Amino acid sequence: MDTRKCRLFLITGKKHSGKTTFVKKLAERLKRENFRIAGFTAPSVYEGAFLSGFDLVDIRSSRRVKFARRKSTVDGFQFSEEGYRFGRKILESKETQNADLIIIDEFGPMELEGDGWRKNVNSPLENQKCLLLVVREELVERVEKLYSNLPCLIFRAREESVEQIISLLIKQGDEYG
| Residues 125-157: tens digit of each pLDDT | 877 788 999 999 999 999 999 999 888 999 999
Tell me the one-letter amino acid at 147.
Answer: Y
- Model pLDDT, residue 73: 66
The neighbouring-strand residues paired with 175 are: none
Distance, CA of 106 to CA of 133 (rounded, Å): 6
**What sign results for the dihedral spanned by CA atoms 92, 100, 132, 144?**
positive
- Model pLDDT, residue 111: 95
Distance, CA of 154 to CA of 123 (rounded, Å): 21
pLDDT above 80 (res 32)? yes
**What sign results for the dihedral spanned by CA atoms 171, 91, 37, 146?**
negative
When pLDDT is cut at 50, 70 and 90, the band that residue 176 belongs to is very low
Q: State the residue range of the domain holding 87.
A: 3-176
- Model pLDDT, residue 175: 53
**Among 165, 176, 174, residue whose Cα is nearest residue 131:** 165
- Model pLDDT, residue 154: 94
Higher pLDDT, 1 or 144: 144
The number of domains in the chain is 1
DSSP at 10: E
When pLDDT is cut at 50, 70 and 90, the band that residue 109 belongs to is very high
- pLDDT tens digits along 52-107: 999 999 999 999 999 999 977 667 889 999 999 999 999 999 998 889 999 999 99
- H or E element, residue 83: helix 81-92
Statement: the pTM of the whole predicted model exceeds 0.85: yes
CA torsion, points 130, 135, 138, 142, in degrees to nearest 10? -40
- CATH number for the domain including 61? 3.40.50.300
Average pLDDT over residues 13-39: 93
